[in-house]
């Protein structure tokens, strides 16, 4: 159903024009008209996370390149079985299909849990709201709100739609989840024409006061809705790990096809018929497919995700683990991420002296301190909450600025104690015209004591005296100028500033004039204590941090410098960014820079620019305004404690403790898992050569087949699996966080990886296995070219020796793979439970299939003689020695031998 669009803007309309444009009255629309409008504009609801079909979610698990390769190999194996029954190809087909199905089911289960979690999260719009309908107050579901409705707001309400304030009383609104700006906004009612100060936005929260609102936009037409659309339009790129696995699959596919087709053609030259050559080629292609790699990668990433969970980082997508490890730039929001999202008194200036807020003794020694604290406590509208053991800012409810000041006074002298000897007589609330508030109290002696706080320039202009050195004296012109300069200095640092003054009056409702100046109080949303160390760790790891905030420039600059993120940055604000060309933005991003007053779509532009520069971008955030950038980034990290549900839905990782330092642990885990996946891919690929060469030798040479299809499956899915998982669980190496992020051009599986597996260690394993095979045959009386039945005892013994040698070679290989460049000798003494278990399983398995009679026909083996075992037991040491020599040459400069 088509829906009529609302006017593009109500800015500049007067009250009459606004009501006319919306066909509304101040008594509210009728219920019948509301139903008509709902059909026209739709329900007041926003979808950030559209529910996905479970069937489609399951089918997607089969569409990645690696599962498709394994399924293709499975079909080829079944076709080979059709052409040549009894060779065991059907078992390979079944095994490959089972691996893909089990992996898909496990992955689907994890994703389904996340899907249910995210759908339960989404609760941005309040359940019920108070409206005027038919001239009467009614309480309805928030999704029933339509343009033209009159909404009644109270303190604590979440605003359900965009609107214009018709009437209000001391309305203070928090829009930080939409704008990223930590400072609450004082709103005003519509006067002559609509301007920004009388607009309210969906998703914002009323901190103080009450209001009557004319609704102008609902649902996806609201400010929150526009972010929803932007978030859903953003497309995710493949993660670096997905790209690397696709790259590997392409390589292994072309390699398998190349070898298979080559020997298919070669078969004609040696006189084999077409179908024999085809079955042989399929066998080689399927043998090249690393069946165990997919579940091993999944298990390694899953275990890494579990370890991150213990560090308070919930991983929604396991592939995100490695992505975080390859991060080169972290784009972080300020409010709630780097800072506590809780105002705190940073500095006090009284008696012309700056006092550090943390220095309680220094403050109390100042002779103006008591008066300073009394003004803070008396000229304050917070509500003190003393039950349930509340302490700190949890003890007070009200405006964040007043809460911060009350907390400060409470810590130094007791908020309630300061107020206890005074009786409230008159209160003048803050308004945007006067720029101050005043509160008059009577002392126990009956003296009327007016306390005033407000904008520094305004308060200083009203002061004729100053509280200095324990006395009240006239305020000189040079002192007045000095106070103004000090206030400007604090404001330039991004501190939120109020001036405090008082006056003894005759009447409670006296005007605030001829005041006594007492001091300045400077507040800031303070950095989290753990962040400076995390910033230093990022720098040592070669990771840049760029602060992107909706807050004002001075505040963003102050926090970024205080945390050591930058020293002397260029500050780019939203309007300047809007005027920049892509080239100029990319140039600015190469230098020290912070961004302030940034809109959600501009965060997206910054992320896009960084990605176009080849950076791997992580974005952290907690607000609705962060959602599009979180989704577009290579890795989105949201805050779990204070983050909005929108941000959690858009992100890949959720920090349960809102701790920026947790990101550093996660980055180390990501780098470690990449290194470990590289290790076990190298390990798994090595056994491909001793699995493939027997088939080639069988066709080209007059020898029995050294290995069967079932034995290949046993290696790939039984003996190699647990050691590979062990490599995936290796702890980080000492220099993991001391080296720069890996280049985007660095491949998970490079040409040098294939050289190591296919040209050095793999052929060595094959040579040792062939040696054991031929020693057994020759010791049994076999002569070259002699035909040997498949079920002959000698053939089974030789085949068992071939298999046992490969398995024991892989024991030496897994020990060597624990390091990439350094010697693995020191690691032999370091316990890895999975590798130890894997070695025990390998040994137990080969002994079982060789010496347990009923297993012999299944795995085509027979008992091996003791002298043959001497050869087999030597093989892991040979492989380990070859690898140690290769790594020694790498350390001496032969980098082409590295992996």
416 is catalytic: no
Q: At what angle do helices 721-728 and 833-851 cross, to 10 degrees?
A: 170
CA distance 543 to 819: 24
Confirm if 801 and 778 have CB atoms less than 8 A apart.
no
Evaluated on CA atoms 829, 834, 838, 841, the torsion sign reads positive
- Residue in the structure block whose two tokens are 């002559």: 192
- Whole-number Å distance between alpha carbons of 746 and 499: 57
Are the beta carbons of 819 and 827 closer than 8 angstroms? yes
| Four-point Cα dihedral 700, 702, 707, 712, nearest 10 | 20
Burial class (CB in 10 A: 0-12, 13-18, 19+), 447: exposed
Strand-pairing partners, residue 448, are 442, 505
Identify the three-state secondary structure at position 159.
Answer: coil
Give, to the nearest 10 degrees, the angle between helix 240-269 and helix 660-686.
Answer: 10
Q: How far apart are the first and last CA of the chain?
A: 59
Give, for 699, the enclosing helix (H) or strand (E): helix 688-700
* Cα angle 892, 895, 896; round to 5: 135
Residue-wise DSSP of 852-875:
SGGGHHHHT--PPPHHHHHHHHHH
User: Rounded to the nearest 5 degrees, what angle is found at the Cα of 221, between the Cα atoms of 218 and 227?
Assistant: 115
| CB of 562 closer than 8 Å to CB of 539 | no
Which alpha helices (H) appear in 133-239, and where do they start and end? Answer: 176-179, 223-233
- What's the helix, strand, coil split of the chain in %, to 5? 50, 15, 30
Dist CA 642 CA 653 (whole Å): 14
> Which 3 state secondary structure label does DSSP give 216?
strand
Check residue 724 and report its DSSP letter: H
Q: How many residues does the chain have?
A: 899
User: 333, 410, 626, 645: which is the annotated catalytic residue?
Assistant: 333
Is the torsion defined by CA of 38, 39, 41, 43 positive or negative? positive
Choose among 667, 661, 659, 663: nearest CA to 643: 659
| Cα atoms in the Cβ-side hemisphere of radius 13 Å centred on 32 | 0
Q: What is the DSSP letter of 445?
A: T
Parallel, antiparallel, or unpaired: how do β-strands 515-524 and 496-505 relate?
antiparallel
Burial of residue 555, with CB atoms counted within 10 A of its CB: 0-12 exposed, 13-18 middle, 19 or more buried:
buried
The H or E element that residue 68 is part of is helix 65-83
For residue 697, give both structure tokens.
Answer: 């030798």
Q: CA 743 → CA 326, 739, 747, distances in Å?
A: 8, 11, 9
Nearest CA to 366 among 482, 471, 470? 470
CA distance 261 to 541: 46
Summary count for the chain: helices (H), strands (E): 34, 26
By the 8 A CB rule, do 724 and 677 touch? no
SS3 assignment for 537-566: HHHHCCCEEEEECCCCHHHHHHHHHHCCCC
Show the tokens assigned to 404.
């911060």
Q: Give yes or no for a contact between 557 and 571, defined as CB atoms under 8 angstroms apart.
A: yes
Tokens at 790, concatenated = 């498949």
Would you please indicate which residues are annotated as catalytic (active-site) residues? 333
């Amino acid at each position: 159903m088509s829906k009529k669009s609302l006017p593009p803007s109500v800015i500049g309309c007067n009250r009459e024009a606004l009501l006319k444009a919306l066909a509304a009255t101040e008594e509210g629309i009728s219920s019948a008209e509301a139903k008509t409008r709902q059909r026209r504009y739709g329900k007041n609801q926003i979808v950030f996370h559209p529910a996905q079909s479970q069937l489609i979610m399951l089918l997607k698990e089969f569409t990645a390149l690696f599962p498709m390769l394994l399924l293709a190999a499975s079909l080829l194996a079944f076709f080979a079985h059709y052409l040549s029954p009894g060779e065991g190809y059907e078992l390979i087909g079944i095994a490959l299909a089972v691996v893909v199905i089990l992996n898909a089911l496990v992955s689907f289960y994890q994703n389904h849990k996340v899907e249910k979690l995210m759908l339960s999260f989404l609760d941005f719009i309040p359940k019920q709201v108070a409206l005027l309908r038919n001239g009467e107050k009614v309480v309805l579901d928030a999704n029933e709100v339509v343009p033209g409705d009159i909404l009644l707001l109270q303190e604590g309400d979440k605003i359900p739609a965009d609107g214009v304030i018709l009437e209000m009383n001391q309305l203070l609104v928090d829009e930080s989840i939409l704008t990223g700006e930590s400072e609450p906004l004082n709103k005003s009612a519509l006067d002559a024409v609509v301007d920004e100060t009388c607009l309210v936005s969906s998703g914002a929260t009323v901190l103080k006061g009450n209001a009557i609102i004319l609704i102008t936009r609902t649902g996806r037409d609201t400010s929150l809705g526009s972010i929803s659309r932007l978030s859903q339009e953003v497309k995710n790129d493949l993660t670096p790990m997905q790209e690397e696995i696709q790259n590997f699959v392409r390589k292994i596919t072309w390699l398998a096809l190349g070898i298979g087709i080559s020997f298919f053609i070669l078969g004609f030259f040696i006189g084999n018929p077409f179908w024999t050559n085809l079955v042989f080629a399929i066998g080689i292609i399927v043998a090249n497919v690393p069946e165990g790699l997919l579940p091993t990668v999944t298990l390694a990433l899953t275990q890494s995700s579990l370890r991150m969970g213990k560090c308070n980082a919930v991983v929604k997508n396991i592939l995100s683990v490695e992505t975080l490890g390859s991060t080169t730039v972290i784009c972080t929001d300020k409010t709630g991420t780097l800072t506590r999202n809780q105002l705190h008194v940073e500095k006090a200036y009284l008696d012309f002296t700056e006092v550090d807020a943390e220095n309680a003794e220094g403050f109390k020694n100042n002779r103006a301190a008591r008066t300073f604290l009394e003004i803070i406590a008396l000229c304050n509208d917070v509500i003190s909450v003393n039950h349930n053991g509340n302490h700190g800012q949890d003890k007070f409810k009200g405006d964040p600025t007043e809460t911060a000041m009350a907390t400060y006074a409470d810590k130094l002298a007791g908020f309630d104690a300061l107020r206890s000897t005074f009786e409230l007589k008159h209160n003048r609330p803050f308004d945007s015209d006067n720029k101050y508030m005043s509160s008059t109290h009577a002392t126990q002696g009956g003296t009327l004591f007016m306390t005033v706080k407000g904008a520094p320039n305004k308060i200083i202009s009203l002061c004729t005296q100053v509280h200095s050195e324990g006395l009240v004296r006239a305020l000189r012109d040079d002192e007045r100028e000095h106070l103004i300069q000090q206030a400007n200095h604090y404001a330039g640092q991004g501190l939120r500033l109020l001036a405090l003054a008082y006056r003894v009056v005759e009447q409670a409702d006296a005007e605030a004039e001829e005041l006594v100046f007492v001091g300045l109080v400077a507040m800031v949303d303070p950095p989290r204590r753990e962040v400076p160390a995390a910033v230093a760790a990022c720098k040592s790891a070669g990771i840049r941090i760029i602060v992107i905030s909706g807050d004002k420039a001075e505040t963003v600059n102050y926090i970024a410098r205080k945390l050591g993120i930058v020293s002397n940055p260029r500050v780019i604000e939203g309007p300047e960014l809007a005027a920049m060309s892509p080239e100029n933005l990319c140039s600015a991003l190469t230098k020290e820079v912070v961004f302030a007053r940034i809109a959600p779509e501009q965060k997206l532009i910054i992320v896009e620019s960084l990605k176009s520069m080849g950076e791997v971008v992580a974005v952290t955030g907690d607000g609705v305004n962060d959602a599009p950038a979180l989704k577009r980034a290579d890795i989105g990290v949201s805050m779990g404690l204070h983050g909005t549900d929108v941000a959690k839905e858009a992100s890949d990782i959720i920090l349960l403790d809102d701790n920026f330092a947790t990101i550093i642990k996660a980055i180390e885990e990501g780098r470690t898992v990449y290194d470990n996946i590289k290790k076990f891919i190298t390990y798994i690929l090595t056994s491909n050569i001793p699995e493939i060469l027997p088939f080639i030798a069988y066709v080209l040479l007059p020898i029995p087949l050294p290995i069967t299809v079932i034995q290949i499956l046993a290696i790939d899915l039984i003996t190699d699996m647990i050691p590979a998982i062990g490599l995936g669980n290796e702890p980080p190496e000492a220099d993991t966080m001391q080296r720069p992020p890996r280049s985007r051009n660095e491949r998970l599986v490079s040409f040098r990886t294939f050289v190591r597996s296919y040209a050095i260690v793999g052929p060595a394993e094959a040579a040792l296995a062939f040696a054991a095979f031929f020693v057994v045959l020759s010791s049994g009386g076999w002569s070259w070219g002699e035909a040997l039945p498949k079920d002959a005892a000698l053939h089974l013994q030789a085949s068992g020796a071939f298999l046992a040698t490969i398995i024991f070679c892989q024991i030496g290989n897994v020990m060597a793979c624990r390091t990439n460049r350094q010697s693995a000798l020191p690691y032999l003494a370091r316990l890895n439970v999975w590798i130890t278990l894997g070695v025990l399983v390998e040994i137990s398995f080969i002994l079982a299939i060789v010496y347990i009679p009923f297993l012999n026909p299944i795995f085509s083996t027979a008992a091996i003689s003791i002298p043959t075992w001497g050869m087999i037991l030597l093989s892991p040491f040979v492989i380990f020695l070859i690898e140690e020599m290769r790594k020694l040459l790498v350390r001496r400069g032969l980098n082409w031998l590295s992996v």
